[in-house]
Structure 1
Amino acid sequence: MDRLWHFTQTVLGIIFRHPITGTSIIPILPDGRIVLIRRRDNGLWGLPGGIVDWGENIATAVRRELAEETGLEVTQIRRLVGIYSAPDRDPRIHSICVVVEADVQGTMQIRDTLEVSDVQAFNPDSIPEGRLAHDHRQQLQDYFKGQTTLD
């Protein structure tokens, strides 16, 4: 019984005392526009993405989250934009976010209506800067600078 309790404490410690891994995608349409989603929880615009599921790698999570939130398909993951891990980057949880740039195609259609209220494509100069969720403004700035960030 003592071993079971120790195991349970260890598992709960791993789940509740360690950051959650997630991803954000900077989806680029063939015409160069960037696709953003409007979050249902706070009404702000953000990059599509989410938590990496158990047994899933980052590339698979990128493809799944993009399809769920935008209806689009990844044609190519272009580059790693950064890894963002500041404890206060997401007000809900401490998460580590792996951000990638990806070429995408298809028809925009929200499949996850519980999390997403709108999906739109923006020219790089018309992104709603003051209305971005979490640290997505920083992620986009780093992308536009062409740098890879470890934060």
Structure 2
Amino acid sequence: MRRFWHLIQTVLGLIFRHPIIGTSIIPLLPDGRIVLIRRQDNGKWGLPGGMVDWGEDIPTTVGRELVEETGLELVKIRRLVGVYSAPDRDPRIHSVCVVVEAEVQGTMQAQDTLEVMEVQAFATDALPLGNLSHDHDRQLQDYLNGLTTLA
């Protein structure tokens, strides 16, 4: 029994003491506007994205999250914007976020209305910077400055 309990503690430690991997997507429409979502949990604008599911790679997660949160389809991933790993970057859990720029197409409409209140496209000079969810202000600013960041 003691050996079994030790195994359970080890597994729980592996699960809960390691960061979760996720993505944020900077979706670009053909006209150059950037798509943001308004989150249900805090009412703030932010980038679409989410956790990588077991058995998924990052490109698959990007495509799935885009459809779920914006209704848009992934055309192609253009570039890696950065990897953000600060323990406090997400107020819910320690997560490592891989941020990519992606060409998208289709009709904007939130599919997962439990997570997303609204989907909207913004010209770069009209982005609601300064009070975005999580660390999305930094992610977008790094993108707009042409940086590739490891933080």
TM-score (norm 2): 0.97
In the other structure, the counterpart of 1:123 is 123
CA RMSD of superposed structures (Å) = 0.9
SS of corresponding position for 1:67:
helix
Among the aligned pairs, what percent are the same residue?
75
In the other structure, the counterpart of 1:33 is 33
Where does 1:61-80 land on structure 2 (aligned, <5 Å)? 61-80=61-80
Letter of the aligned partner of 1:115 in structure 2?
E
CA deviation vs aligned residue, 1:51-108 (integer Å, no higher than 9, x gap): 1111111111110011000000010000000000001111111110000000000000
Spell out structure 1 runs of 4+ moving beyond 3 A: none
Can you give the 5+ residue segments of structure 1 that lack an aligned partner in the other structure? Answer: none
Can you give the 5+ residue segments of structure 2 that lack an aligned partner in the other structure? Answer: none
In the other structure, the counterpart of 1:108 is 108
In the other structure, the counterpart of 1:150 is 150
Distance 1:129 1:59 in 2: 26
Distance 1:44 1:5 in 2: 42
Return the offset for 1:3: 3.4
The answer as to 2:98 corresponding to 1:98 is yes
Distance 1:74 1:16 in 2: 31
TM-score (norm 1): 0.97
Distance 2:43 2:13 in 1: 33
Distance 2:106 2:20 in 1: 30
Distance 1:99 1:2 in 2: 43
Aligned residues: 151
Distance 2:9 2:59 in 1: 31
Distance 2:3 2:147 in 1: 48
Distance 1:64 1:8 in 2: 32
SS of corresponding position for 1:130:
coil
